[in-house]
Amino acid sequence: MKIKSALCGLSIIALTIGCSAQVKTAQKPNILVILCDDLGYADVGFNGSPDIITPELDKLAKDGTIMTSAYVAHPFCGPSRAALMTGRYTQEIGTPYNLRDDGRVTTSGVPVNETYMSNMLQDAGYYTSAIGKWHLGDNKEFQPNNRGYDDFYGFLGGGHKYFPEKFQPYYEKQKQAGAYPINVYFTPLLHNDKEVHETEYITDAFSREAVRVIKESKKKKKPFFMYLAYNAPHVPLEAKEEDLKVFSNIKDTDRRTYAAMVYAVDRGVGEIVKALKETKQYENTLIVFMSDNGGNFDHGANNYPLKGTKGDTFEGGFRVPMFFHYPNKIAAGTHFDHPVSALDLYPTFAHLAQTNLPKGKIVNGKNIWNDLASNTSPHKDEMIYALRYREGYCDVAARKEDWKIVRMGNEPWQLFNITEDLGEHKDMAGRFPERVKEMVAETQKWTKSHIAPLWVYSQTDAELWESGKLPNYDDTFEVDKLIMSPIEYKEKTEKKK
Ligand code: CA
């Protein structure tokens, strides 16, 4: 793909003077990140969904560049978002677990010494807003307004009920009964730190608030950065009748409701595009659309042709739908097939905002802007990792160019040519054992940068870390598990017993 560049003049002198003047006075683009929650790879029209229609997203994708190999840094919600905000692998900052959803009693959050992309963009003169799901800490110091966002409208927990006429009465009843904590899926939405009485289906409410902020930003005469984090289509599966009617052909109830929830996001994106055009900000806005992790096939999602589901280190867990749209800057109608990471957004946004990374800031991704222009791999000879702590073991994956190693639980390591074998069907570990060993060794080396989690999700997690059964890297990266087939490995481990 190509990023168009303006011609500045005819002679070399004119070119030099013209371009440098242009760089100095260039308008900083608005940056709009639209994040969906648990959206499957195949659940948008632009990635070939057979049953979900997303006309508004498809129009943007068609006029932009679709990233076919986009990875998030963790296969589930909280850690993926912490990595997105900080530009760092979540294991390196101690945030590899979700925060608990048991009311406003969580005192943990992403460490405040980790400068978010919003802080950087705020300092670079942007008007910043976070809308939707937060899931990065409930206490005051972790809340959006204290993490670089001028405006926040949404909820702090990991999920929410969708219909105010259902969640508000339940909340009031619980409150009157003195219940504490009250399930965060039912608590009132917030505008900054004030509770609000929402009346709309909350996907529509978030779209409405995005339109509001886009209009307000125009008046502020500043570029805007908006982090629009829809909780759709994350459970609970709850959709509007009007959207369900669109998918009357889908017989499976979960799938139908899920489809309607995605469609509600799509309708909202249509409103947002309209507002950008009305306020004459459309041409100067980079829109990045993506999901925070793979779709959950227990709850209506479809990751085809990828193997696996939310939480996995197979592709279906952490390879997500993504596009970039930026008229006249990002070429239209193209696909970018080289691997990119959500970790790349932080340094890429710094470049677009014409600012430096915050002093002392460590980022694990890189500025991919020039590679998008030249259609070259931003991560040549570099690994892109995913690692999840399970109960006593780790799921791990690492991709470098065409190759991917993956280990799920107590199965042996597998190797795939992920370019040719997108569905991870043909394990080539036995054929290329040296490649496996090299990639496993490099992954193990990466784990030296990990720190102990700042919080865990369950009592079991706490006990596992306490007893030294996590991270259990010696076992995870043990060499004799490298190249056996699952059957050989099973026989061997059963013999040991
Ligand atoms: Ca998620």
DSSP H or E stretch at residue 263: helix 253-278
Give the three-class secondary structure for 34: strand
CATH number of the CATH domain containing 267: 3.40.720.10
- HSE-CB at 485 with a 13 A cutoff on CA atoms is 4
Q: Label the pairing between strands 285-291 and 30-36.
A: parallel
Q: For residue range 424-435, what is the model confidence (pLDDT) as tens digits?
A: 999 999 999 999
CA of 361 to the centre of ligand 1 (A): 26
pTM, two decimal places = 0.92
Domain boundary among 325, 344, 374: 374
The answer to whether residues 241 and 192 belong to one domain is yes
Give the three-class secondary structure for 228: strand
pLDDT for residue 306? 98
127 falls within a domain: yes
pLDDT for residue 102? 62
CA of 84 to the centre of ligand 1 (A): 12
116/109 Cα distance (integer angstroms): 13
Question: Active-site residues: which are they?
Answer: 77, 135
The range of the structural domain enclosing residue 318 comes to: 9-374
CA of 243 to the centre of ligand 1 (A): 22
381/204 Cα distance (integer angstroms): 43
The answer to whether residues 310 and 452 belong to one domain is no
- HSE-CB at 333 with a 13 A cutoff on CA atoms is 0
**For the purposes of burial, counting CB atoms within 10 Å of the CB of 27, is it exposed (0-12), middle (13-18) or buried (19 or more)?**
exposed
Alpha helices in 340-432 (DSSP H): 345-352, 369-374
29 falls within a domain: yes
Task: Please state, as a whole number, how many other Cβ atoms lie within 10 Å of the Cβ of residue 187.
Answer: 23
138/385 Cα distance (integer angstroms): 28
Q: N- to C-terminal Cα distance for the chain?
A: 55
Domain boundary among 374, 408, 430: 374
The answer to whether residues 223 and 294 belong to one domain is yes
Number of domains in the chain: 2
Taking alpha carbons only, the member of 449, 431, 429, 448 closest to residue 439 is: 429
pLDDT for residue 21? 35
The answer to whether residues 309 and 400 belong to one domain is no
- Angle value at C-alpha 114, between 352 and 355, nearest 5 degrees: 20
CA of 72 to the centre of ligand 1 (A): 11
CA of 234 to the centre of ligand 1 (A): 7
DSSP H or E stretch at residue 473: helix 473-476
CATH number of the CATH domain containing 441: 3.30.1120.10
pLDDT for residue 15? 36
210 touches 289 (CB < 8 A): no
The answer to whether residues 51 and 115 belong to one domain is yes
CA of 298 to the centre of ligand 1 (A): 13
**For the purposes of burial, counting CB atoms within 10 Å of the CB of 227, is it exposed (0-12), middle (13-18) or buried (19 or more)?**
buried
175 touches 182 (CB < 8 A): yes
The answer to whether residues 479 and 363 belong to one domain is no
358 falls within a domain: yes
Residue in this structure with the two tokens 């997303």, named with its chain if needed = 54
86 falls within a domain: yes
Domain boundary among 344, 374, 404: 374
CA of 296 to the centre of ligand 1 (A): 9
CA of 160 to the centre of ligand 1 (A): 12
- Angle value at C-alpha 160, between 156 and 166, nearest 5 degrees: 130
φ/ψ bin of 118: left (φ > 0), alpha (ψ from -120 to 50), beta (otherwise): alpha
Residue in this structure with the two tokens 């339109």, named with its chain if needed = 211
The answer to whether residues 284 and 135 belong to one domain is yes
3 falls within a domain: no
The answer to whether residues 257 and 324 belong to one domain is yes
CA of 38 to the centre of ligand 1 (A): 4
CA of 292 to the centre of ligand 1 (A): 5
pLDDT for residue 13? 34
13 falls within a domain: yes
pLDDT in tens, the chain (497 residues): 344 333 333 333 333 333 333 334 478 999 999 999 999 999 999 999 999 999 999 999 999 999 999 999 999 999 999 999 999 999 999 999 999 876 555 689 999 999 999 999 999 999 999 999 999 999 999 999 999 999 999 999 999 999 999 999 999 999 999 998 888 999 999 999 999 999 999 999 999 999 999 999 999 989 999 999 999 999 999 999 999 999 999 999 999 999 999 999 999 999 999 999 999 999 999 999 999 999 999 999 999 999 999 999 999 999 999 999 999 899 899 999 999 999 999 999 999 999 999 999 999 999 999 999 999 999 999 999 999 999 989 999 999 999 999 999 888 999 999 999 999 999 999 999 999 999 999 999 999 999 999 999 999 999 999 999 999 999 899 866 555 555 565 665 566 54
pLDDT for residue 181? 84
131 touches 156 (CB < 8 A): no
User: In sequence order, what DSSP letters do the residues of 88-101 get, joined into one string?
Assistant: S-GGGTT--SPPP-
User: In sequence order, what E strands does 121-243 have?
Assistant: 127-133, 151-155, 190-191, 194-195, 224-229
2 falls within a domain: no
95 falls within a domain: yes
CA of 77 to the centre of ligand 1 (A): 4
The answer to whether residues 123 and 223 belong to one domain is yes
The answer to whether residues 253 and 347 belong to one domain is yes
The answer to whether residues 339 and 433 belong to one domain is no
The answer to whether residues 331 and 452 belong to one domain is no
Q: For residue range 332-364, what is the model confidence (pLDDT) as tens digits?
A: 999 999 999 999 999 999 999 999 999 999 999
CA of 158 to the centre of ligand 1 (A): 8
